[in-house]
Structure 1
């Protein structure tokens, strides 16, 4: 079973950006997404208050989990340790798309620590960041709810006019949305950069030690 897990956050990456890369990754790697979990709970909520998430993952076993980045799971280091432990215990294969690495029970300890340290560094850097929308980020769109349907239509070869009629939306607005979100590239898996052969080593090399 292949699961796409998305957790939107205005200070990290909104839904459409995560969906872009997840869908493109799935196409590029011949993966068919069986289920999609969009977690709208606040990033401030601890794992003990996210019962829908914990129950969902506990009900799965030996699944393939596609996520954009480590922070999608949680922005609390204690919760991250518990989530990593439980996902691996349930034999999940977790694909971190941004890092181009896959975490499984057979992964090296250094890879797991590297992923954890990347989150630690991100949170440390974000605590110093100026409040406001991240540079270059896009606002949400009313078309975001149709993104999977639009991607499917593109793969089927439907024109923008056909898609607009089926969704009962403006053709010009839909065309702008498809172009701004690069959905044609997403639909055919061409949005992703080629994964480096030393992706795991690159993650490990990002670990920083105190001076």
Structure 2
């Protein structure tokens, strides 16, 4: 089953525009949308409060696909989005993102998702009032052009010193950049429940578990 998922919420494009984007994408990529799912929200609820959405996630089966205009349609919170991607991976559901164009499934390299998640985190941060600069703005950094390399280095376990030498930059400045953008947290903490090892034994030991299903199981045990 292929679902087209759209959401009415302040800050997102209109439902009509979301429908248009998904239709154009599906036609261009020869994808047949079997069912359209619409979520109506008058405010940005936490995922635990979005009961119908939670039920939809639990109804998904292996081989299903979801097409969304942007990742922010699923959630505008980075940490929630990580949970949702974990859920789709655990259920072997394919997620098609129209903009920026991405296909997320079990073959997706985790490092390719870091920029998307980090962009959402920065968008979250920009919404808060910041003293000394206009609301919604964020100072740029000379390290922004190295972000992909920095994320790759952190993923591979490189030290800040080693990365600084490789990029020929100051270690202290690079360390400040990593901390201010919370890049290490994104790499170290977000994906602990995922493992894409080809080894059968490791795959059996580290099964992907949807966080929502995990919470449900814990409640049933209690």
Instruction: Output the TM-score relative to the length of structure 2.
Output: 0.56
Runs of 4+ in 1 over 4 A off after TM superposition: none
Q: CA deviation at 1:111?
A: 1.8
CA contact (8 A) 2:9 2:44 kept: no
**Structure 1 Cα separation of the partners of residues 5 and 43 of structure 2:** 14
After superposition, the CA RMSD in angstroms is: 2.5
Counterpart mapping for 1:23-172 below 5 A: 23-61=23-61, 62-127=63-128, 128-129=135-136
Q: CA deviation at 1:56?
A: 1.1
**Structure 2 Cα separation of the partners of residues 80 and 26 of structure 1:** 23
**Structure 2 Cα separation of the partners of residues 43 and 102 of structure 1:** 28
Q: Tell whether 2:15 aligns with 1:12.
A: no
Instruction: Output the TM-score relative to the length of structure 1.
Output: 0.59
Aligned length: 139
SS at match of 1:23: helix
CA contact (8 A) 2:9 2:41 kept: no
Question: Which stretches in structure 2 are left out of the alignment for 5+ residues?
Answer: 129-134, 138-146, 152-176, 182-222
CA contact (8 A) 1:8 1:40 kept: yes
CA displacement, residues 115-134 of structure 1 (integer Å, 9 cap, x when unaligned): 2112112223344349xxxx
**Structure 2 Cα separation of the partners of residues 59 and 2 of structure 1:** 13
SS at match of 2:81: helix
Q: Which has the larger radius of gyration?
A: 2
Q: CA deviation at 1:75?
A: 1.5
CA contact (8 A) 1:43 1:74 kept: no
Aligned counterpart, 1:21: 21
Between 1 and 2, higher relative CO (CA 8 Å, sep ≥ 6) is seen in 1
Q: Tell whether 2:8 aligns with 1:2.
A: no
Question: Which stretches in structure 1 are left out of the alignment for 5+ residues?
Answer: 131-202
